[in-house]
Amino acid sequence: MAGSKGNCYMCGKELGSAAMINHIIKEHLPEEGQECRLLKIEGAYCKDYWLYADVPVSSSLSSLDGFLRKIWLECCGHLSAFRSRYGQVVGKTRKIGEFNTGDQLLHEYDFGDTTETLITFIGVSYRKQQRGVRLLARNIPMVFTCCECGKQADYINAGDYESPNPFYCGNCAEKDEEIYEMSLPITNSPRMGVCGYAGETDTYAFDPKALTKDGKKSKN
């Protein structure tokens, strides 16, 4: 699903990844307030999973690590690390404000079944005083079809997640005990189907009810 679309978490608009950041900058980012770094975050090997977020310059990389774990990665408390484009480990105590537009980091979670995330610093943003990482946009969850019946799938066969179509609806998965035991829920994450990831900590699903009638979030 190359070129997957997403939702703006400020107003709900549905756009592709490239158009989304232009929309966010033009429509939603003030020119004063708390200085932040604007980030594009995407799966290193599956760019259909993407996020836009901003982080205060005073925050450290550890806050970004915590955000990535919650929205995309956490399953068994694995270790993680940031690396520069040249492969050097970048300490989590580094402040976000130390990075400039164009810088890139690779985030690794789990040094066995590793999930890699590419982080690109794409600009400067401002906002009201607010702690932590703010999610600005996210790709719309992808829809997969069951390899047996063609209906919308609910699970991925974690024992065969590298096959062209390892997806099953609930009914078809239950017909095969081995497949059912190896099934994990479909998630909106590049870690889908890996280790024991089931997305329990992901509380960032797009909710249009969180938007007010004027297109602004009901809560800051």
Predicted local confidence at residue 21, as pLDDT:
96
CB-count exposure of residue 80 (10 Å: 0-12, 13-18, 19+): buried
Question: Is residue 107 domain-resident?
Answer: yes
126 within domain boundaries = yes
The answer to whether residues 80 and 116 belong to one domain is yes
Query: For the chain, percent helix, then strand, then coil, each to nearest 5?
Result: 20, 30, 50
Model pLDDT, residue 130: 82
Q: Are residues 34 and 121 in the same domain?
A: yes
Instruction: Kindly state whether residue 217 falls inside one of the protein's structural domains.
Output: no
Q: What is the pLDDT of residue 213?
A: 44
What is d(CA 210, CA 12) in angstroms, rounded to the nearest whole number?
Answer: 9
Shared-domain flag, residues 125 and 91: yes
23 and 119 fall within a common domain? yes
β-pair partners for 167:
156
Summary mean pLDDT of the chain = 93
User: Domain check: are 32 and 53 in the same one?
Assistant: yes
The reply to whether 55 and 135 lie within a common domain is yes
- For the chain, the straight-line distance linking the first and the last C-alpha, in angstroms and rounded, comes to 32
The tally of domains found in the chain comes to 2
Examine residue 194 and state whether it is found in any structural domain, yes or no: no
Domain stop point among 76, 108, 141: 141
Please check the confidence at residue 126 and state whether its pLDDT lies above 50. Answer: yes
Same domain, 48 and 128: yes
Q: The domain spanning residue 61 has which CATH number?
A: 3.10.290.30
Taking residue 150's Cβ as centre, other Cβ atoms within 10 Å add up to 10
pLDDT digits 0-9 by tens, 5-28: 999 999 999 999 999 999 999 999
Q: Is 114 within a domain?
A: yes
Residue 204, pLDDT score:
97
The pLDDT of residue 3 = 65
Is 182 strand, coil or helix? coil
Give the Cα separation of 9 and 215 in Å (integer): 10
If asked whether residues 161 and 101 sit together in one domain, one would say: no
In a domain, 97, yes or no: yes
Rounded to an integer, what distance in angstroms lies between the CA atom of residue 192 and that of residue 124? Answer: 31
Identify whether residues 103 and 114 lie together within a single domain.
yes
Confidence of residue 220 (pLDDT cuts 50, 70, 90): very low
% of the chain with per-residue pLDDT over 70: 94
Whether residue 31 is found in the same domain as residue 98: yes
Task: Let me know if residue 127 belongs to a domain.
Answer: yes
Residue 23 domain-assigned?
A: yes
Expressed as residue numbers, the domain containing 182 is 143-187
Residues 31 and 131 in one domain: yes
The tens digit of pLDDT for each residue in 54-97 reads 999 999 999 999 999 999 999 999 999 999 989 999 999 999 99
Token pair 């976000």 is found at 96
96 in the same domain as 39: yes
